[in-house]
Amino acid sequence: MPTTGKIPQPITSPGISVPTYAIDLTEAMADGETSTAIIMSIAAIEGRDPLDLDPMFGDIETDSLNMMFKSQSTSLSVGFITNGWDVQLYGSGEAVFEREISLPEASESQSERPTA
């Protein structure tokens, strides 16, 4: 299975309260391996074997995704949820992974914030 050879980097910002990572997938996109690079990135973030993750084909049409991003159009962007991650892909090659949280988790996150 191909790998990006890169590790997604955490994004930290005062406005971001859920785990968020970014990685450049330009090379994988050009090779038509966008979907594989996404799974490899999620596995790297979670410290898991990629084969232990759920296949993406139930969440998005992977062949179409690979074909769309192979053309490298900077105006292209696609978002979807897979394996508990909100994935945003951009034609520039950037991929952003934000952990999907449930409503109870979101409520807990809000209640943990200090009040003024």
d(CA 82, CA 108): 23
**Token pair of 72, please?**
């490298």
> Which pLDDT score, from 0 to 100, does residue 8 have?
81
The 10s digit of each residue's pLDDT in 107-116 is: 454 455 555 4
pTM tops 0.85, yes or no: no
What pLDDT digit, counting tens, does each position of 76-92 carry? 999 999 999 999 999 99
Q: Using pLDDT thresholds of 50, 70 and 90, give the confidence band for residue 7.
A: confident
